Structure 1
Amino acid sequence: MKICQMTKCNIISVFPGKGRFSKNNFWVAMRNPLYCGKIFIPPYKEEKGCFVKGQHEPLISEKTFADVQDILDGRKRVVKPKIVAMDNLPLRGFIKCPNPNCNRMLTGSASKGKMGNYYYYYHCSSPCGTRFKADTANEAFLKQLRYMSPKEGMVDVFIEAFIKDFNNKTKAQNTERTNIIGEIDALNKRYQNALLKNADGEMADDDFQEVKKLTKGKIEVLERRLNDLAVVGTEIKDLVASTLKKVANIDRRYENGDIEEKRLIVSSIFPDYLELDGVQHRTRRLNPAIALNYEKNNKFQKKNKGTSLNF
């Protein structure tokens, strides 16, 4: 009865009726576990306060409520809403307005010409008037993507370097794994010997049970350690090779891909926004793997004076 009354009070506090629902009340409501079917029982005498399942039907799941709390506390990133883009505007929502007094993300749209043809533009939704031809911006982006792609022979160099580094870092782990397997085999042989001696009457039952307890206990510990070690897969080279080849052809994949694949490539390579000055794109940060690829690619081409790109 007490829980039912508290539930009713909580519902009234979350939905305050005709009173104005202020911004502060909204954030308080977002923290209320009542939404996921739980209520808080305050401490009473020597009993500690706790959350219990209420008798009302929850509006959301406990997982959804926990995800919201993680976002509010900064432990989880907010998922950005999907931006609908036309095939002619793959960079819509990725380019930041260059106007220092604006800093909005450029949208895009089509304008109908006098002859009935459509012309596409990236433009700002504010009165700043920033506007770029979509064809020019798209071509500039594709040109820079081609420049970043590894040159012929670089993929093989990357694969060889990765496998060498991978083998060096996992050498100690493989040695430990081999040693553990050897210890487990030795313990199993000891147990089998004790089992045969006990069957032949050469070992008392009490002694056999003691040996069994010790060997089985040690084997369980070793098997847990073995499970914690990552098994080095023989297919790692093929996996790395196929992945790097996709990166090597990233410009062709972008050029020939549909709108969803193009936007996926842009968001994967450029975690932050793009900037366009009318001629070339800039960005504050590249995907670390792509940045490493781009750096090694430049070194491979012996370009020590930098590059025209502002990545």
Structure 2
Amino acid sequence: MGEAKIQSETVPKALIYCRVSSTRQKTEGGGLESQEHRCRQYADSKGYQVVGVFPDDASGGGDFMNRPGMVALLSFLDAQPGEKYIVVFDDLKRFARDTEFHIKLRREFQARGARIECLNFKLDDDTPEGKFIETIIAAQGELEREQNRRQVIQKMKARVEKGYWVFHAPIGYRYASNRVHGKLMVYDEPLASIVREALESYAIGRFRSQAEVKRFLESKPDFPKDLPNGEVRAWKVTKMLKQSLYAGFIEVPNWNVSLRKGHHEPLISFDTFTRIQKNLDAGARPAARKDISADFPLRGFVCCDDCGKPMTAAWSKGCRKRYAYYLCDTRGCESKRKSVPRARIEDGFSDILKNMQPSKRFFALAKQMFIDAWDMHLAEAQVAKQAMVKQLKEIETQIEGVLDRIVEATNPSVITAYEKRIERLERDKIVLAERVENHIPPKGRLEEFIELSLVFLSRPWEIYENGSLAVKRTVLRLAFSEPLRYSRENGYRTTETTFPFKVLAGFNNQNEEMVHL
């Protein structure tokens, strides 16, 4: 037993290091297994005892300290300073593909008393010729790495210039094989619909801030969350709002690839994307209160009549149960902290909304009004389209003129200014071209528009009562042009409704019959 122990202590101990450049090579290529197999065969032939294997599936960009496996290997050697190990690896290119880091890594192992051995190259530290050849081979590996990187970037850039995205697909898209286009981004449902709703809602003002967009995304179970508490990082929301891919366009400023039409299907129009950028440039807007809940759907919409500020709401704990109240919390207001039972606020509001439902006999008239308004809109759209076509031609003329000036210019700063102007004109051209194409709605939109409008006008209370919190807030914005004012003594003041309800209210004032609930 003692002889076996002595023999085991005298057998050289080896550590195997194997590396592939990507996780894909690790999972699909089987490169790590084959390298380890060859290194074990080499160790057996030399009589080495393999005590550890350290794999890597990252290139590290030439820097060995960016490879987790190499860091673990050096840490292992540091933890056992008295041991002398032999580090075995398959090829010199697996060691380091950068001349500078190759030399540094050699010194790191020498400082720890470890000897390195390569299957495909005999390392000779004793002669100047051996060191020279090793340096040349390391430099060759660096050259190949840089050449491969350059070729990959050139191919990727060429594909981007043709209108294809080559990087990781943004949320809402995924890559799929296409017979004509190769790998092409397609909708990834249900994420695509979630992202579209978030972007369009921010563009039209339904979500007034990025915080509201963030809250909306966090409320969707299918949307991927960044943090364990179910939150989405704020930078991800900003990145989504600034992503031109969702509008069907591609640009990579780092590669000097300007904005151009992509081959993938857009989630939103470029006009919507432009409005989003304008909202972002306008700066932060007040976010909707985070504490607005289904318990108090009118919080923030009903204002105190004394000060005109939005009323808040809260639950109050009584002796036996909790009570719901609305109240004004404005400093200096006569009604500050004087609560009003939730039932009084919401029952009064329900009476207002119920009285806004018009009589059935007016719907034929309302439908005809919509048709007349639609015809007027089409006539105006035709005129506007002609004006936009003319403006589009003017922009194209301006672009040609600026290009002629660039050819004649010699000052770099002047050329840069011209290029920026062309970029702005190209963006304006894209917006105008899209508006020209979509400015006149198809015939089917008329029936769709009338049907949806009449459904809402016929039963706003029913939609409000049975809808979610988001639907309730939408009904408030569509039915009332201003927030409601409430007096503790006299109840609701005169309400300001939107135009369609004002028109129908004019007919209702002629002693006509209301719809029976």
For the pair shown, which has the larger CA radius of gyration, 1 or 2? 2
Q: TM-score if structure 2 supplies the norm length?
A: 0.31
Relative contact order higher in (CA < 8 Å, ≥ 6 apart): 1
